[in-house]
Chain A
């Protein structure tokens, strides 16, 4: 099972681009990489998911190199409301439809005015 490592905390300012990198050296062939955002007293919220190369949606981009041993979540032009904990998740359903989920410890992002 893959283990994920990400920075414990990051600081940024409004309007800046923030990049959070997650290391998952032992990622399996059938693992997807997913990022979640969590605000205090709420459940995590899906941000983006990818398998390889680059994925972009309306809120973020996810960069995955060819070896897939890391991934970088990119948040363009952050605002104060982006202050949250960001989790890197690696896991997938296996052939027996059993799910193994591996959550990172999370990166606490603080966006300052």
Chain B
């Protein structure tokens, strides 16, 4: 298993600013994922962040808007850039320690509100 923490837990930001969300894992894991979840909705994968390689973004998400860093096997950041109210959502990071299987462990999420 893996224990994941995220910072901040929530934030209220102004339009046009950027916010960096941190994800810390208590063990070394290769595969880390960033998701977005609108209130009451399902999860949408933003990108896969593997240590030592560039993040892989899903359709509809671009690096300029959501730059990701993965400096080591226990840490990652997701930045939401030039925010608009449409970016208001819950952002979650997860890890898949087993690699080849779908079992993921999720952080508690970061609730972002953009005014």
Q: Which of B92, B100, B102 contacts A43 (CB 8 A)?
A: B92
Q: Which of B44, B48, B92, B101 contacts A49 (CB 8 A)?
A: B101
Minimum CB–CB distance from A81 to chain B (whole Å) comes to 18
Question: Do A91 and B102 form a contact, CB below 8 Å, given A101-B45, A106-B42?
Answer: yes
A89 at the interface (CB under 8 A from B): yes
Q: Which of A45, A89, A98, A105 contacts B102 (CB 8 A)?
A: A89
Q: Are A87 and B108 touching (Cβ within 8 A)?
A: no
A98–B100 CA distance with the chains assembled, in angstroms: 10
Task: State the interface size on chain B (CB cutoff 8 A).
Answer: 25
Mostly, the A contact residues are: strand
Which chain B residues lie closer than 8 Å to A92 at the CB level? 102
Which chain B residues lie closer than 8 Å to A101 at the CB level? 33, 45, 102
Question: Do A43 and B101 form a contact, CB below 8 Å, given A98-B56, A99-B31?
Answer: no
Q: Are B100 and A93 touching (Cβ within 8 A)?
A: yes
A34 at the interface (CB under 8 A from B): yes
Chain B interface residues (CB < 8 Å from chain A) = 4, 31, 33, 41-45, 48, 56, 92, 94, 96, 99-109, 111
Report 14 cross-chain contacts, Cβ distance below 8 Å, ordered by A residue. A34-B102, A41-B108, A42-B106, A43-B4, A46-B103, A46-B104, A49-B103, A89-B102, A93-B99, A99-B96, A101-B45, A103-B43, A103-B44, A105-B41
Give me the 6 closest cross-chain CB pairs, A-B, nearest first. A43-B106, A34-B102, A103-B42, A103-B43, A46-B103, A105-B42
